[in-house]
Structures are given as C-alpha cells and as structure tokens.
Amino acid sequence: MRQDLALIEDAAREVGLVARRLKAEGLKVWAKDGGSPVTNADIAVDDLLRERLGAARPDYGWLSEETADDSDRMARSRLFVVDPIDGTVAFLKEKPFWAVSIAVVEDGQPVVGVVHAPDLDETFIAVAGGGAFLNGAPIIASAIDAVEGCAMLGDKPMFGHPAWPTPWPEMRIETRNSIAYRMCLVAEGRFDAAIALTSKSEWDLAAADLICREAGAVVTDHKGQGYRYNQPDPRAPSLVCAAPALHPLILERVRHIERRN
C-alpha cells in the first residue's frame, strides 16, 4: 500500500501543476448533462491520471467523474477512484478550495487516499491502519461534543429552513466547494463537521473517507450507514462527516429525512 501511496501522491502533485498551468493559459468551459461546469483542465487531468496510473497498475479498475463508467471495474478487486478536479466552480472562480482526489479501493473500501489542494499547498494522505497526515504531520479530528458552537461546513440556508423539527443552534457555518476538501478539514480538526443532504458520488468521498476515519472522524450517510465503494451505482444519498462525539448528535437531527440517491 505504501507503494500505491507514493504513486498516487506523486501523480496528484503532478496533475495539480498541470491544472494550474492550464488555468493560467485560459480555460475552455462547457456544461455537462445536468448543467454543472467542466473545463479542459478537468479532462486533461483525468486523461493524465488514467494514463499514468493505468500504466503503473494495469490490473486495477478505474472510476472517475470525467470518464465514462465501465462495468469492467466491478470485476476488479482493486481500483482507482478519482475526482480529477473536485470543486470545479472554485477552480473557475479563482478560489483555492479545489482539490485532486485519488483513492485506491480494495474489496469495497478505500485503503489508500490522497487529497491534494494545489493552490493551498496542502496534501492530505492516509493508508489504512497508518493514520492520517497533512503535509507530513499527523492530524486528528476535534473532541467537540456539542452541536451548539461547532464549526460546520455546509449550506447555511439549509440549516435555517423552518421545516426542521428542532431548530439548529448557533454554529459557525462556512462552505468549501470541494467535498473531499471539506471532509479533510474535519479530519484535521479545523472544522468539526461537514453535512451534505444531497447525493454524492464515490469519487467525491473515497479518498477523504479514509483520511477522516484514520484521523478519528466518523463518515456516514444521514441514516448512519457507512459507504461501500465500487458499487454498480456509484452514488451515496448524503454525507455526514463529523468529530466522533458530534456525529451521533447530528444524526439525531437528520436521520428522519427520507430521500433517494
């Protein structure tokens, strides 16, 4: 696994430089089905990663936001799960909160993960059973045990919606475009929780899921179910990522919601 970590960390740093160069040269932008933006940098990074990682590990499967899904991955015990640029809107708007996210998934669970934020010079890494690190220093989730006063990453208007059975208390609420980066901030303890009550894809979650769990944070959907990866439908219904003592308190507030992917 350490060899896989070195491989994907080097690749993430390399393509981060490519993405920044392409942005400096001027991006080409168009809309995907559903309306979300994509750029030539997203595609270039995806192509480079697939070429480099595929050449190094030809027996691994591949799942990426910017590659047409191939059911062949289901037959592979190991695969790369990749978001070449997570947070494309931030990337477009000259905000630094975008990241390259790469995981190695084995038998349904991430075993190696890298989330690299090039504009911030921050690289989060983890290997299963080996702890989580930011730029080489170990990280750990916060010890907060109350919702009131916590530092929350999420959609501020959602928390103020009048339909909540129990109103949310005062919290410091901020947002970051990249889901993977949000989760890593919880792993580091800079924030206490990240909530998204809309569907997320395996490439949003896999690398950061491992990093969070290795840092002691808890990652589930809003019903409290953990994720299993390399599924036929690579979508999860929601995300609740939080410090260990805070996570059950958040579930109490959200698990009544019924929704599909």
Residue pLDDT tens, the chain, 261 long? 889 999 999 999 999 999 999 999 999 999 988 889 999 999 999 999 999 999 999 999 999 999 999 899 999 999 999 999 999 999 999 999 999 999 999 999 999 999 999 999 999 999 999 999 999 999 999 999 999 999 999 999 999 999 999 999 999 999 999 999 999 999 999 999 999 999 999 999 999 999 999 999 999 999 999 999 999 999 999 999 999 999 999 999 999 998 765
Indicate the domain borders of the chain.
2-138, 151-254
Residues whose CB is less than 8 angstroms from the CB of residue 109 and which lie 6 or more positions away in sequence, other chains included: 128, 210, 228, 229
Cβ pair 171, 150 in contact under 8 A: yes
- The three state secondary structure string of 171-195 is CEEECCCCHHHHHHHHHHCCCCEEE
- Parallel, antiparallel, or unpaired: how do β-strands 193-196 and 61-64 relate? unpaired
User: What pLDDT shows up at residue 33?
Assistant: 83
Q: Give me the torsion for CA of 167, 169, 174, 175, rounded to 10°.
A: -30
Token pair 């947002």 is found at 175
Cβ pair 172, 190 in contact under 8 A: no
Residues whose CB is less than 8 angstroms from the CB of residue 202 and which lie 6 or more positions away in sequence, other chains included: 63, 81, 105, 227, 229, 230, 231, 234, 235, 236
Token pair 């059975």 is found at 165
Q: Confirm whether 2-138 and 151-254 share one CATH topology.
A: no
Rg value, the chain, Cα: 17
Dihedral sign, Cα of residue 52, residue 54, residue 56, residue 57 = positive
pTM: 0.97
Token pair 């290997």 is found at 127
User: What pLDDT shows up at residue 29?
Assistant: 96
Query: Strand, helix or coil at 197?
Result: coil
- Parallel, antiparallel, or unpaired: how do β-strands 61-64 and 172-174 relate? unpaired
Q: State both tokens at 64.
A: 């990426």
Helices of type H across the chain: 2-25, 40-56, 88-92, 156-159, 179-188, 202-214, 247-254
Report the top-level CATH class of 2-138.
alpha beta
User: What pLDDT shows up at residue 260?
Assistant: 61
Given 3.40.50.970, 3.40.30.10, 3.20.190.10, 3.40.190.80, which CATH number is that of 151-254? 3.40.190.80
Q: State both tokens at 136.
A: 């080489």
